[in-house]
A and B are shown apart, each in its own frame.
Chain A
Amino acid sequence: MTSVDAAYSSWGRPRVEAGKRVVRLWWRDQGFPADRPALPFGNGRSYGDSCLIREGAIIDLRGLDRFISFDNDTGLLRCEAGVLLSDILAHFVPKGWFLPVTPGTRFVTLGGAIANDVHGKNHHRAGSFGHHVRRLELLRSDGTRIVCSPHESADWFTATIGGCGLTGIILWAEIALQRVPGPAMEVETLRFSGVDEFLELSRSSHNSHEYTVAWIDALNPGSDGARGLFFRSNFAADQRPVAAPRPKPGLPFTPPVSLLPKAAVRLFNAAHHHWPRRSRQYVHYERSFYPLDAVPNWNRLFGRRGFFQYQCVVPYSAAEAIGALIARVARAGEGSFLSVLKVFGDHKPAGWLSFPRPGLTLALDFPDRGEQTLKLLDTLDEITVEAGGAVYPAKDARMNAQTFRRGFPSWQRLEDYRDPAICSDFWRRVAVPQPGE
């Protein structure tokens, strides 16, 4: 296995190289790379530095992209960890199967989806991705291979779900696909004002709708709180022809400065207030789940400095923290391209370090304006931690060790299961004891 100079980065940090070198795995029997320390890398759709290792080697797993078996009766799919969710969809949706859980982009790998225990719009019903993983195989740097599941080597399984890639290389996994009638979804859009109204809509949609999510305008909260659009949907029982969105041309390069000036963001956010109060449409699932995937490399719009995404979760009992976060952002006047609000269900988290937990989750984007942005994000941390919440590692590039440890009290346990040859910039920042600690 050869290491070569790397040119990888994460989604929000185009300027930062992911690692100095890269080693690629093409086969499951290849063994753990000799170049260490190293970090498994999926498709770099994490925003921050949880998929980066600047002083080390990236283990690129996209070469492990094979299906292994599929059971047409149960929907159980076994495939290698570098398979993209988009590949699974392309093959299985026409056969009437869909992912049990999907994040807001389909260009992530199976391994990445497990390592961050990703969530989707159906968390209130289905839990997170990890709840649908039946088994997986882990390759450790000492050459051991651990096949684990909720019933065999369960500690390794729970450590690896949401384990940020630190427990070893996931070689393959089994997930349970779910039956769907076809690609068409019935989507209902409702306007709302304020977190209370949002909560009420979430509650009333809980049983009737598999998928719920809201967009909010965090820049111009009205007098009654954040205004937004609530989307609730199901795969349509009465399928009708719907067209998949055509990919738009992406930016072929990263512009030096952000192409998303504040005014444009405001305009975008203001536009949806003129939507009708309530509407119902049939759309192709790609439009509903992956609106951003239609523009390849949309992250480049933020320019070379990149951007931060801030996603946190707070318990139901501290719902007012959401209002406080939005108010703080509005006061700072820092633009957020798209702010997403969603209620997580009551499922027990699938992994020790899973981010999804009962409560409300809010996600905001911030162009990187340097010190002022970092300061603002620190104040958001304070509100989140105060509320007993947590910040999402998959999106994070800057939270401090205290914020992380308060949000993920089991971090020490994961550290015990971490492969000694694996580390990430993220983990170095939040968990590996620094000198003097």
Chain B
Amino acid sequence: MRKVLIIGATSAIAAAIARLFAKDGDRVFLIARNEEHLKATADDIAVRGASVAGYRSLDVNALDEHRAVLEEAEGALGGIDLALIAHGTLPVQIDCERSPGLTAQELQTNAVSTIALLTRLAERMEERRSGRIAVITSVAGDRGRQSNYVYGAAKAAVDTFLEGLRQRLHKSGVGVTTVRPGFIDTPMTAGFRKGLLWAKPETAAKRIHAAIGKGTDVVYVPWFWGWIMLVIRFLPRSIFKRIKL
């Protein structure tokens, strides 16, 4: 039985992973903003076999509340073996281009809040010399693309932060898993027409759950995104800047 903290626990991807934790009989604490959704998610995984230590509403952008909420979670769980950070928002790129305020807010939600949470979690796990941190970033962080580079920049910031954190925590025996999903069919992407590249949250969850179990450092979800992003990263800039992606 692992003790698992999930932030952004009502996200479709996180909730699907939580079901796999439930099947493992793990002890779980859930955090997101919407209280009703937290309860619905907690009830579901409780029937599916999780021991739910509690849930708590938090706006991750209220950085000054992080300490108290994380302490509450750690207390309820009796320690944290695994922290999964999954919250996020996908802004409309065009709107960001017209509004520095919105751009800053999106960077806050998708990067600053996550980095702030990681800073506290890392400190505790380093002290206890055990644990694993898993964070959902995105393939969008691999290379800035005109269609969503504000979101991509936030994800890239977290990704780079995690790269450093992994090095630092390695000697303390604390693991860091970076999860880079491609297109997953969730409420976040409800407005998109779905094609062949799209995966279901359950499919994504299986791969993420396995990667966490194996202690993988970086995982693309589904697997083929690793290859797609390899091509995109290596496209010469002289060509890249001319195409629409």
> Interface residues, chain A, CB within 8 Å of chain B?
1-2, 4-5, 24, 26-29, 63, 66-70, 79, 91
Contacts and interface: CB of A to CB of B under 8 A. Distances in A.
B235 interface: no
Contact of A67 (B36, B44, B187, B191): B44
Top 9 closest A-B pairs, CB basis?
Answer: A66-B44, A67-B47, A2-B191, A70-B47, A26-B187, A67-B44, A29-B36, A68-B43, A2-B190
B48 A68 contact: no
A91 B48 CA distance: 7
A24 B48 contact: no
B228 interface: no
A4 B190 contact: yes
A191 B192 CA distance: 53
Select the residue from B36, B43, B191 with max chain A CB neighbours within 10 A: B43
B193 interface: yes
28 contacts: A2-B190, A2-B191, A4-B192, A4-B193, A5-B193, A24-B187, A26-B187, A27-B36, A27-B40, A28-B36, A29-B36, A63-B12, A63-B187, A66-B40, A66-B41, A66-B44, A67-B44, A67-B47, A67-B48, A68-B40, A68-B43, A68-B44, A68-B47, A69-B43, A69-B47, A79-B47, A91-B47, A91-B48
Contacts of A28: 36, 40
B190 to A, nearest CB: 5
Select the residue from A2, A26, A70 with max chain B CB neighbours within 10 A: A26
A368 to B, nearest CB: 28
B106 to A, nearest CB: 19
Contacts of A24: 187, 190
A26 B36 CA distance: 12
A17 to B, nearest CB: 13
Contacts of B48: 67, 91
Contacts of A91: 47-48
A76 to B, nearest CB: 12
Contacts of A27: 36-37, 40
Contacts of B36: 27-29
Interface in B168-217: 187, 190-193
Nearest to B43: A68
Given A29-B36, A63-B12, 10 more contacts: A4-B191, A5-B193, A24-B187, A26-B12, A66-B43, A68-B40, A68-B43, A68-B47, A91-B47, A91-B48
Nearest to A91: B48
Interface of B: 12, 36-37, 40-41, 43-44, 47-48, 187, 190-193
Contacts of B43: 66-69
Contacts of A1: 190
Contacts of B190: 1-2, 4, 24
Contacts of B41: 66
Contacts of A70: 47
B55 to A, nearest CB: 14
Contacts of B47: 67-70, 79, 91
A122 B199 CA distance: 37
A79 B48 CA distance: 12
A236 to B, nearest CB: 26
Contacts of B37: 27, 29
Contacts of A4: 190-193
A247 to B, nearest CB: 15
A298 B36 CA distance: 39
A80 to B, nearest CB: 8
Contacts of A5: 193
Nearest to A83: B44
Select the residue from A2, A27, A66 with max chain B CB neighbours within 10 A: A66
A24 B12 CA distance: 13
A171 B76 CA distance: 32
A28 B10 CA distance: 13
A46 to B, nearest CB: 22
Contacts of A2: 190-191
A366 to B, nearest CB: 32
A5 B44 CA distance: 30
Contacts of B192: 4
Nearest to B42: A66
Nearest to A92: B47
A5 B193 CA distance: 7
A252 to B, nearest CB: 11
B205 to A, nearest CB: 13
A29 B40 CA distance: 10
Nearest to B10: A27
A26 B44 CA distance: 14
A19 to B, nearest CB: 14
A26 B192 CA distance: 16
B207 to A, nearest CB: 19
Contacts of B187: 24, 26, 63
Nearest to B195: A7
Select the residue from B41, B47, B48 with max chain A CB neighbours within 10 A: B47
Nearest to A66: B44
A73 to B, nearest CB: 15
A66 B12 CA distance: 12
A109 to B, nearest CB: 15
A27 B33 CA distance: 14
A27 B12 CA distance: 11
B14 to A, nearest CB: 13
